[in-house]
Amino acid sequence: AQKITQTQPGMFVQEKEAVTLDCTYDTSDPSYGLFWYKQPSSGEMIFLIYQGSYDQQNATEGRYSLNFQKARKSANLVISASQLGDSAMYFCAMRDITGANNLFFGTGTRLTVIP
Amino acid sequence: GAVVSQHPSRVICKSGTSVKIECRSLDFQATTMFWYRQFPKQSLMLMATSNEGSKATYEQGVEKDKFLINHASLTLSTLTVTSAHPEDSSFYICSARDFENTGELFFGEGSRLTVL
C-alpha cells in the first residue's frame, strides 16, 4: 500500500499568493516523522520542514508551514507569498521511527509560480 | 505504480570494510538513478547521478574513489562505500526516473549504514 500520497502532479500559483501542496500518509506506527523537500531542476534535495507525530504545534519555517492534521493523516505544505524561485518539485516523505526506520517518499508535486 | 527497491535497508559493518548498497527499479527501466545521503539535520544531499553504461557524475565534494557507483544494467545501480569509517554512518537513499512513461521520480526506502 502506498505510504505517502501526493495527489497533485502539478500546481500553479500566482507570484505573492499562498499555495497548499497536499500530502496524506498511511502508517500504523504511533511515532513517525514527516518531511517536505524541494527539488529544483539541478536535482538536489532541499530540506524544508519537519513535523514529528507527537509535536503539539504545526511546524513553521519562514514562508513554509505544515498543516498537520493527525486524525486525517494529512501533512499539507503551505507556502506563503510565493516567489518565482519556488518553482520546483516538492516531495513529501515519512519515516516510521518505531518501525524499520525507512523513509517513504510521495511522487511529488511540480509547482510553477507565475509572474 | 513504479517501485524502486533498496537493499539492504540496514547494515552494520566494521571500520575499514566495504559495503555495497543496491538500488533496483522493479517495473521500469531507469537509465538514470540518483544517490543521496541524508544528514542528521534532515537535509538530503545529492551525491551522484548514476548513468547506465557510463561513468557516474559526482557532485562537488563527493569522493568518487570512496563512493563507487556502478550502473551495470537498466534496472540496477550499486553504491559501494569503500574502507568505511564511522563518519560514513548515514542514511543513503536512491531514486530513479521513469523516463519511458510518466517521467516521475521514484525513491527507494533508503539504507541505514552504521560503521563501528
CA torsion A23-B90-A1-B28 (nearest 10°) is: 100
Residues A107, B1: C-beta atoms closer than 8 Å: yes
Which of B10, B44, B109 shows the shortest C-beta gap to A45? Answer: B44
What Rg value do the Cα atoms of chain B yield, rounded? 13
Q: Rounded to a whole number, what is the distance in Å from the CA of B71 to chain A's nearest CA?
A: 18
Tell me, rounded to whole angstroms, the distance of Cα A104 from its chain centroid.
Answer: 12
Residue B40: what pLDDT?
66
| A101 pLDDT tier (thresholds 50, 70, 90) | low
Residues 6+ away with beta carbon under 8 Å from B38: A103, B44, B45, B90, B91, B92, B93, B110
| B107 pLDDT tier (thresholds 50, 70, 90) | confident
Locate A46 and state its grid cell: 532541499
Give pLDDT tens digits for B50-96.
888 888 999 889 999 999 999 988 999 999 999 999 999 998 999 88
Residue A82: what pLDDT?
98
Written as one letter, the residue type at B47 is M
Residues in chain B within 8 Å Cβ distance of A45: 36, 43-46
